[in-house]
Structure 1
């Protein structure tokens, strides 16, 4: 097993990521290594380094096609997020809400978590809302002596929980990706089948959030920030751009619910914004450029991850690895824990759950079958194994986003105040509950 091309390739990818090599480059290098070391060649031809390299690249590019819809969805959602960020819509909504959440620490933190959840489904702006929401609230947090580590956990909770448990917005992207990659590996399921299981993943996330609030409930002092750092939101009013952006959000939400297509919903939402003034015609190019900047890199990571998954399947090394892992797993429970821990390592390295799915599905589906898991348990294991590690990863949007807002005044450390707390309070419950739920589902 120690010479298995799949195992060596994944170890190489993790090492490169730990050494802070670019994620996309790490995946590309590891994929090329797996193909060449695994001897991928056109049928009937003798091995040669040049021919294997060219064929590996060809297989990789062909595999990238599996995530084209997901990548397009990400780009279009990025444009919507950029369009919203260029208006005062989010600031106005936040200003209305913030007046009701500043009376109690617990209510404040829970409200932040709920608002963060909306950014993944109701108003799909992803992390773009954080620089608008958090800096104006830092002075209030300081007066209430709220430990920002609790707020970091609340933000990460909202960024992760909706997409792993609800088939709406980014969750629909996640579920579609799960469905496609499982189909690529021989398991055909409907989105409703995934939704009927993945809601369970929200339970350990809620438990983790409650524990974080309890642990970080003690007052924590911060230096008083300058008043000029907080925006005056009371003077903001709804204008043409705000109403146009809101119309686009409503259209995008309704279309994806009715037709189950996020790209179509996002496209019609953008067109609606242009028609009703949410996106000024003269600013269209700048808005698209900003949207691509927000989501483009993640979209391309998912494309190369799909190509990597195809390479791993083509090497033929998965069956050997599956048999070896199954023999040391110690049964279904041990296998479930092992799968989730490996998923944790891969996702922390890559920094995106979406990019992890194509890689682990290629290995986990045959492994789960070998261990005797049923369809529902397989869906849950793959879904949680991909999601675990998104919280706590230094390279993940789910941690970078909260830090960008909470460190606005330079008093919040990315590793110690965001990554470590979110790792402890979300990844550990996900692994424990995930293994237990998988055994329950059989």
Structure 2
């Protein structure tokens, strides 16, 4: 069996078994190198060279994480959540219509933020721990299915850098994808990467529409529990899934 396939399958198995992701990556790489006949020394050298090639990306993610923590401790996400919750509670006879509008607006806003995080405001995934935890209580109040929120986040994050060669998409499509294909000896001069990735991107669009308008459209009940948001307010009310 192909050593790369074995290494990837082993890494995925360890991840499912809740082994730390860094340890799972190392064990998978070690197994793949040994199965390919590189030997222990050759495997370690290749592993270190691979880490060096990704140092630029790793540094970017570290800086984004620091930025996320700084904004979280400022308390701005909590202020946004409290404003939205107060706006919902102040609604009177038009409450049902207003809640429906707010539910769809929140999904659209989260998806738009995920898209912009890849290019216009290049913070990548750093906005998730800033924005989502304080909004959990608002989602509970709206009876919004969090699985729909997860689908909106996934679509905005993945499809953008998978299809558009801008911002983080340029790093993935040009530096990583086409770069590794070129290193393997293939000619990439005539490849239109957007055309090549249009099929999986279209699949992501179909999946988002099915998730939001069909599978997870119905309201879902959640229990409010105190959670630590890590922000300047200390705790907020989030929730775990109750009966659907």
TM-score, normalized by length of structure 1?
0.42
Distance in 1, Cα, partners of 2:81 & 2:121: 12
- For 2:110, the equivalent position in structure 1 comes to 112
- Paired residues for 1:61-76 under 5 Å: 61-76=48-63
- For 1:207, the equivalent position in structure 2 comes to 206
| 8 A contact 1:142–1:221 mirrored in 2 | yes
| 8 A contact 1:114–1:158 mirrored in 2 | yes
Distance in 2, Cα, partners of 1:57 & 1:205: 37
1:379-425 CA-partner distances (Å, limit 9, x unpaired): xxxxxxxxxxxxxxxxxxxxxxxxxxxx9623149xxx9xxxxxxxx
- Paired residues for 1:11-90 under 5 Å: 11-40=9-38, 52-85=39-72, 87=74
- For 2:222, the equivalent position in structure 1 comes to 222
1:139-167 CA-partner distances (Å, limit 9, x unpaired): 44334332222222222222222221222
1:266-307 CA-partner distances (Å, limit 9, x unpaired): xxxxxxxxxxxxxxxxxxxxxxxxxxxxxxxxxxxxxxxxxx
| 8 A contact 1:179–1:191 mirrored in 2 | no
| 8 A contact 2:144–2:220 mirrored in 1 | yes
Distance change >3 Å, CA 32–CA 109, structure 1 → 2: closer
1:333-354 CA-partner distances (Å, limit 9, x unpaired): xxxxxxxxxxxxxxxxxxxxxx
What SS does structure 1 have at the residue aligned with 2:240? coil
Distance in 1, Cα, partners of 2:29 & 2:168: 27
**1:211 positional shift:** 0.8
Runs (5+) with no aligned partner, structure 1 = 41-51, 232-406, 418-442
**1:218 positional shift:** 1.8
Distance in 2, Cα, partners of 1:157 & 1:134: 16
**1:180 positional shift:** 1.8
- For 2:181, the equivalent position in structure 1 comes to 182
**1:196 positional shift:** 4.1
**1:178 positional shift:** 0.9
1:352-388 CA-partner distances (Å, limit 9, x unpaired): xxxxxxxxxxxxxxxxxxxxxxxxxxxxxxxxxxxxx
Distance change >3 Å, CA 71–CA 140, structure 1 → 2: closer
TM-score, normalized by length of structure 2?
0.70
- For 2:127, the equivalent position in structure 1 comes to 129
Tell me which moved more, 5-14 or 141-150.
Answer: 5-14
Distance in 1, Cα, partners of 2:189 & 2:73: 37
1:209-237 CA-partner distances (Å, limit 9, x unpaired): 111112222222334568xx9x9xxxxxx
Distance change >3 Å, CA 150–CA 130, structure 1 → 2: same
Distance change >3 Å, CA 136–CA 93, structure 1 → 2: closer
Distance change >3 Å, CA 23–CA 95, structure 1 → 2: same
Distance change >3 Å, CA 147–CA 183, structure 1 → 2: same
- For 1:288, the equivalent position in structure 2 comes to none
| 8 A contact 2:225–2:239 mirrored in 1 | no
Distance change >3 Å, CA 14–CA 108, structure 1 → 2: closer
Aligned partner (choices 146, 149, 167) of residue 148 of structure 1: 146
Aligned length: 224
Greater RCO, CA 8 A, separation 6+: 1
- For 1:436, the equivalent position in structure 2 comes to none
1:31-78 CA-partner distances (Å, limit 9, x unpaired): 3333334333xxxxxxxxxxx322332233234333233333333444
What SS does structure 2 have at the residue aligned with 1:121? coil
Distance in 1, Cα, partners of 2:191 & 2:59: 22
Q: Supply the RMSD in Å over aligned alpha carbons.
A: 3.9
- Which has a greater percent of strand? 2
- Which has a greater percent of helix? 1
